[in-house]
A and B are shown apart, each in its own frame.
Chain A
Amino acid sequence: MNFDWWTLAIQTVNVLVLVWLLQRFFWRPIAAMIEKRRADAASLLAEAAAKREQATAALADAERERNELVQRQDLAVAAAQAAAENARTAILATARQEAEAAVAAARVAIDKERVAVESEWAERAGALALQISQQLVSRLDGASIQGAFLNGVLDQIGKLPESTRQAVAAQHATLELISAVPIELAEQPRYGELIARAFGQPGAIITYRADAELIAGLELHGAHLIISNSWRADLARIHFNLADANQP
């Protein structure tokens, strides 16, 4: 056996040199590259984590701002609704007042018109009643009607106060008897006698006059008194009562 010590020495040096060469050009650069990639990956991960945190914070800020905007919007909507409600209430109140005023004015106008219409119809009814009465009276017997109306005049004289009758008698006043149709001359002394007796003044001067507007009946006019027992007076009284009843 012949061991080659020179080869042992040279191979030892060769392996050492190879170890150095590979360490310099292979192991260390590749390991450094792996480490650099790992560090870069860690840095990227850390950066990504930081950016994720920033994004999370930004998201939270955005969410908070959105909530604030929603709150502001709700407040604005509530204020607008309140203002609109106030305006609506005011408009409704004004409209209600105007409507009430218009209704009141319309009612007043309607009442006025109704009163005017009723007055007009009352006038027309009075005229119609007068016309009807005249036509009816024209068909009645004049002497008996005159007698009835004379009795009514005498009753009213009798209902006058005693002082009034005495005053008329004391003054020797001239009385005027108005009839709707002329009193016949033969009947005039009897009419005068009855009326003078009713006043307690037998010699009283009585004049006679015919007035068709009385329709029917008699009216006795003195200096200070009027005794009406005619349809014209009755119709005037009825008309007055109707007009008074139509007053609002």
Chain B
Amino acid sequence: MNSPLDSSVLFTVGPVPISTSVATVWAIMVILSIVAVVVRRGLALVPSTTQALFELVVDAVDSQIRATMRVDPAPYRAFIGSLFVFILVCNWSALVPGMEPPTANLATDAALALLVFVAVIWFGVRAGGVRDFLATFASPSPVMIPLNFIESLTRTFSLLVRLFGNVMSGVYVIGIVLSLAGLLVPIPLMALELLTGAVQAYIFAVLAMVFIAGAIERDKT
């Protein structure tokens, strides 16, 4: 078993190495895009069962954004919802035999955490401008500016570590159990991994909403 911090390279494009997780993400992107296009083509005012299911997902995301951020969900729906769906599908891809979930790769989780970090800045500046966004670091007191700045970095790092640790550990636990008893024994752990993957996706999305809400809170007040 390789180190969880290492990533296997499938091929290289010039100086750029294409790792397994990147290829897996591309496959997931293609599948999600195809599903999205099919759903979009089949949209009707009177919904089918499938459309009703996807509308339920959209409505649940909107409700969660509205409950967590207390804002109109439209500007944040695509980012938060896509993060949730992407992480959920990546986590559940571990159930496909021979496939390693991209979220078990540190670089992928770092990319997601980096996007959240940038999104916090982006939505904060867009909501209240640079001045107001920077003013959020002085809340509740200018004395807190260093701590708030460090917190913005550490919470991003915590996002990365939390997702990576949970998914990677699950993958490795299942791999170890498989090496010891390959038949039927890993099934409960795989079921637990399904739950863990959904919970981690939900936690990542909710934390992203909380961070963004903290950035736009000054503008709201």
Docked CA distance A231–B22 (Å): 173
A31 close to B111 (CB less than 8 A): no
Note all chain A residues with C-beta closer than 8 A to B154: none
Q: Whole-angstrom distance from the CB of A5 to the nearest CB of chain B? A: 8
Given that A11-B25, A14-B22 are contacting pairs, would A4 and B17 also be in contact in the complex, using a CB cutoff of 8 Å? yes
Q: Whole-angstrom distance from the CB of A59 to the nearest CB of chain B? A: 32
| The residue from A19, A22, A33 contacting B43, defined by CB atoms under 8 A apart | A33
Give the interface size class of chain B: 35 or more
Is A140 part of the binding interface, using a Cβ–Cβ cutoff of 8 Å? no
A7 close to B107 (CB less than 8 A): yes
A3 close to B16 (CB less than 8 A): no
Is B206 part of the binding interface, using a Cβ–Cβ cutoff of 8 Å? no
A4 close to B25 (CB less than 8 A): no
Is A36 part of the binding interface, using a Cβ–Cβ cutoff of 8 Å? yes
A28 close to B78 (CB less than 8 A): yes
A31 close to B77 (CB less than 8 A): yes
A19 close to B79 (CB less than 8 A): yes
Is B74 part of the binding interface, using a Cβ–Cβ cutoff of 8 Å? yes
Docked CA distance A237–B59 (Å): 137
Given that A14-B25, A18-B32, A30-B58 are contacting pairs, would A7 and B7 also be in contact in the complex, using a CB cutoff of 8 Å? yes
B168-197 vs A: 1/0 string, CB under 8 Å? 000000000000000000000000000000
A12 close to B111 (CB less than 8 A): yes
Is A37 part of the binding interface, using a Cβ–Cβ cutoff of 8 Å? yes
B5 close to A27 (CB less than 8 A): no
Note all chain B residues with C-beta closer than 8 A to A131: none
Note all chain A residues with C-beta closer than 8 A to B61: 27
A interface residues, how many (CB within 8 angstroms): 33
Instruction: Identify the closest chain B residue to A19 (Cβ).
Output: B82
Is A148 part of the binding interface, using a Cβ–Cβ cutoff of 8 Å? no
Q: From residue 57 to 87 of chain B, which have CB atoms closer than 8 A to chain A?
A: 58-59, 61-62, 74, 77-79, 81-83, 85-86
Q: From residue 17 to 54 of chain A, which have CB atoms closer than 8 A to chain B?
A: 17-19, 21-23, 25-31, 33-34, 36-37, 40
Q: Main secondary structure on chain A at its contact with chain B?
A: helix
A10 close to B16 (CB less than 8 A): yes
Given that A17-B29, A25-B33 are contacting pairs, would A7 and B81 also be in contact in the complex, using a CB cutoff of 8 Å? no
| The residue from B5, B112, B114 contacting A2, defined by CB atoms under 8 A apart | B5
Is B110 part of the binding interface, using a Cβ–Cβ cutoff of 8 Å? yes
A27 close to B82 (CB less than 8 A): yes
Is B40 part of the binding interface, using a Cβ–Cβ cutoff of 8 Å? yes
Q: Whole-angstrom distance from the CB of B22 to the nearest CB of chain A? A: 5
B19 close to A21 (CB less than 8 A): no
Note all chain A residues with C-beta closer than 8 A to B106: 3
A87-124 vs B: 1/0 string, CB under 8 Å? 00000000000000000000000000000000000000
Docked CA distance A26–B35 (Å): 9
Is B37 part of the binding interface, using a Cβ–Cβ cutoff of 8 Å? yes
A8 close to B107 (CB less than 8 A): yes
Note all chain A residues with C-beta closer than 8 A to B36: 21-22, 25-26
Note all chain A residues with C-beta closer than 8 A to B59: 34
Residue among A4, A16, A19, A40 with most chain B CB within 10 A? A4
A11 close to B85 (CB less than 8 A): no
Note all chain B residues with C-beta closer than 8 A to A3: 5, 106-107, 110
Is B121 part of the binding interface, using a Cβ–Cβ cutoff of 8 Å? no
Note all chain A residues with C-beta closer than 8 A to B83: 15, 19
Note all chain B residues with C-beta closer than 8 A to A26: 32, 35-36, 39-40, 54
Note all chain B residues with C-beta closer than 8 A to A170: none
* Smallest CB-CB A-B distances: 7 pairs: A23-B78, A7-B107, A11-B111, A25-B36, A26-B36, A12-B111, A19-B82
Given contacts A11-B21, A18-B32, A22-B85, list 11 more A-B pairs with CB under 8 A. Answer: A6-B16, A7-B7, A7-B17, A7-B21, A8-B111, A11-B108, A21-B29, A23-B78, A25-B40, A27-B58, A31-B77
